[in-house]
Structure 1
Amino acid sequence: MTDIGLQTRSRLSLAAPADYWALLKPRVMSLVIFTALVGMILAPHRIHPILDAVALLAIALGAGASGALNQWWDADIDAVMSRTRNRPIPGGRVTRDEAFAFGTGLSVFSVLLLGLAANWFAAGLLAFTILFYVVVYSMILKRRTVENIVIGGAAGALPPVVGWTAATGSLDVAPLVLFTIIFVWTPPHFWALALLKSDDYARAGVPMLPVVMGPDVTRRRILAYSLALAPTGLLPWFLGFAGPIYGATAAVGGIVFVALAAMVFVRREGPAARLACGRLFGFSILWLATLFAVIAAERLFA
C-alpha cells in the first residue's frame, strides 16, 4: 500500500474528507490560528469583525496549504517513519498529484482572500510564509543541514506577524517580539521530540541534530536554548505591551522550562531519559499556549 501511495496515479483516489483534513496538519494549523489571532488582538487598529474572521480564515487556510505541500514533498520520508507512515499519501488514500493540486490551489486562494479581506501587505507576508516553509524548509533545509529546524522555525514564528499586519497594514515591535519568542522556542521544543524519534529520522535519512551530532550535543543545545528562551519570554512585559500577570506567568513558566530542560540534560539513558524528553515536549506546548493566552486576555479585559 505504501508503494502504491507514493506513485503518481492517473485514477482518482478514494480519499475521504478526513484525508484532506489530515493533509492540512490540523494540530499545527490550530497553533497557527491561535498565534495569528493573538497578533490581531494586540494590534491597535482593527478591521471590521467579519473581515477579521475572514482574514483569520485565510491565514488558517494558508497554514493548511503549507501542510499539504509539505506532505506532497515529504511523502517518501513519511513512508518510512513510524509516526507519519499512515498519513494520506504514504497510506495510499491520496495521490501526490492530488495533494500538490490541493495545496497549491489552497495557497493561492488563501493569499488572495487575505489580500481582499485585509490588505496586500499581510497577503504578501502569508505568501512568503508558505513559500519559506515549503521551499526553504521542506525542499532545501530539512534534508541538507542539521540547522534545518533552527532556520526553518521562522515559518512557524510568522503567524502573529501576519495577524498583526492583517489588522494594521504595518509592522511594529510587538509582533516582532512575538515572532522572536516562537523562533527561540521552536528548537528546544522540536529537539525534545527528535530525541524521542531519532531512530525514525535516521531511517529516513533526515539530518536532525540527534542523528548527526548525537544526543549529548542535542541535550546541551536544548538547555542553552531554554536558558535563552526564559528571558525572551519576558520581553513583552519588559517592553510594556504586556502586564504584570503576563510577567509573573512568563517568569514562572521560564523557570519550569529551564528545569525540565536540565532534567533532559541530566537523564540520558533508559525510560527516565524518554520521560524527561516527553515532559519537556508537552510542557513546551503548554508554555507557549499559556503565554499567548495570557497576553491576549490582558489586552481583551484591560
Structure 2
Amino acid sequence: MPALRAAFPELEGESELFLVQAKRSHNLRRSVLAYIALTKPRIIELLLVTTVPAMMLAERGVPSLGLVLATLFGGSLAAGSANALNMYIDRDIDAEMKRTVKRPLVTGEVSPRGALTFGLALGAIAVAVLAVLVNVLSAVLALAAILLYVVGYTMILKRRTPQNIVWGGVAGCLPTLIGWSAVTNSLGWAPFILFGIVFLWTPPHYWPLSMKYKDDYANAGVPMLPVVADPKVVGKQIVIYSWAMVLWSFLLIPAADTGWVYTIGATLTGAYFLYEAHQLYGQAKREERELKPMRLFHGSITYLTVIFLAVAIDPLLRF
C-alpha cells in the first residue's frame, strides 16, 4: 500500500476510503452470518423435511407453490426465532461446552440484547406471515412450537431433568401439524401419527449425540441422560424408543391409506434404524471402551429424511 500511495499520490484519499468501505462491508457480512448462525440453519432444514411431506400427504398431491413457499417461510422464521432465543438463554452453558463455544453469543459477534430482539422479531413476523398468508391454525401451532421450545424445553426442562429432550422434543414435532393444517386448515389422525414418528425419533436421535459430548454436558451442568446414566441404560432406552418409533410408523398405512412406496420405505428404513440402535446397545453391554454413537446419530437423520420422502412420494405414485 505505501508503494501504491507513492506512485499515485492523487489516489491516497480514495484508497483510504476504499479500505474503510471494504472493512465496513466485511464487518457487515460477518454480522449477517452471525445472526444467521443464531437461527441454527441445519436444524431448520431438518424441520422443513417434515413440513413439505405432511403438506403433500394432506393434499394427496402437490399443493400450490405459493402455499408451500408461505408455509416454509413462516415455519423457517418460527424455527429461527426459537433457536435464537434458545441461544440467548443458553449463552452461559454454551460457553462451557466445546461443541458450542464458537456460537455468536459466546464469541461476542452478537450481543445478548441483539439476539433477544432478533429472536422476538422473527417470532412475531413468523406468526404474522402464517396468519395472513396461510391460516390462523398454522400460526397458532407455530407460536406453540416457539413457546414449547423456548419456555418448556430451554427454560424449564433442559437443566432440570434427564428426560429434557423427550418432552422438549415436542416442539420439533409441530412442523408436521403445521404442514398438514396449512393445506386442510384442520387436524386429524394422520398428522398426529407423523407427529408421533418425530416425537419417538427425537430421543434415539439426540441421545447418541449426548453420549459423544457427555463430558461437555457434565461440565455445563446439563443432566442429559448419558451424563447421569450408565451407557447400558442409555442404550436400552434408545432401543425401546427405536422399536416404538418403527412400530408407530406403520400406523400411518391405515390412517392415511398410504401405498407401497411408504410401506416399503418405512420397512427398510425402520430395519436399518433398529440395526444401528441394537449395534450401539451391544457396544454398551460389552462395555467397549470406544462407543460409536455417531453412526446412529447420522443414521437417524437419514432415516427421518427417507421416511418423510416416502410420505411425500407415496401420494404421487398411487395406482
TM-score (normalizing by structure 2): 0.86
> Which residue among 33, 48, 70 is the counterpart of 1:33?
48
1:273 aligns with 2:291: yes
**Distance between the aligned counterparts of 1:43 and 1:233, measured in 2?**
17
Moved more, 129-138 or 226-235: 226-235
SS in 2 for 1:291: helix
Q: Matched residue pairs, number?
A: 288
* Long gaps (5+) in structure 2: 1-26
The match for 1:131 among 141, 147, 150 is: 147
Structure 1: state its 5+ residue gaps: 1-12
Letter in 2 for 1:35: T
Deviations 1:99-155 (A, max 9, x none): 000000010010011000011111111101100000000000000111100101110
The range that moved more, 176-185 or 261-270, is 261-270
Give me the identity figure in percent. 41
Superposed displacement of residue 271, structure 1: 6.2
Q: What does residue 20 of structure 1 align with? A: 35
**Partner amino acid for 2:51?**
A
Structure 1 residue 298, shift from structure 2 partner: 1.6
Which secondary structure state, in structure 2, belongs to the residue aligned with residue 29 of structure 1?
Answer: helix
Based on CA coordinates, which of the two structures has the bigger radius of gyration? 2
Work out which of the residue numbers 298, 306, 310 in structure 2 matches 1:282: 298
Distance 1:220 1:254 in 2: 17
Alpha-carbon separation, structure 2, partners of 1:54 and 1:141: 32
1:165 is the counterpart of 2:181:
yes
1:60 corresponds in structure 2 to 76
Q: CA deviation at 1:51?
A: 3.4
1:222-247 Cα distance to aligned partner (Å, 9 max, x none) = 11111212211222224343211211
The alignment yields a C-alpha RMSD, in angstroms, of 1.7
**Aligned equivalents of 1:39 and 1:233: distance in 2?**
14
Contact 1:150 1:186 in 2 (8 A): yes
Of residues 128, 136, 144, the one that matches 1:120 is: 136
Distance (whole Å) between structure 2 residues aligned to residue 163 and residue 221 of structure 1: 30
Q: State the partner residue of 2:259.
A: 243
The amino acid of 1:121's aligned partner reads: L
Report the AA paired with residue 101 of structure 1.
Answer: T
In 1, the alpha carbon distance for the partners of 2:317 and 2:279 equals 37
What pairs with 1:89-238 in structure 2 (closer than 5 Å)? Answer: 89-238=105-254
Q: Partner letter of residue 53 of structure 2?
A: V
Deviations 1:26-85 (A, max 9, x none): 010011122111111111388753233112200111011111010000001111111111
Question: How far apart in 2 are the matches of 1:93 and 1:65?
Answer: 18
Deviation of 1:181 after TM superposition, in Å, equals 0.3
Which range is displaced more, 44-53 or 244-253? 44-53
8 Å CA contact retained: 2:189, 2:255? no
Q: What do the CA deviations read for 1:146-166 (whole angstroms, capped 9, x no partner)?
A: 110010111001101011111
Q: 1:270 and 1:20 mapped to 2: Cα distance?
A: 41
- Distance (Å, rounded) in 1 between the aligned partners of 2:255 and 2:167: 26
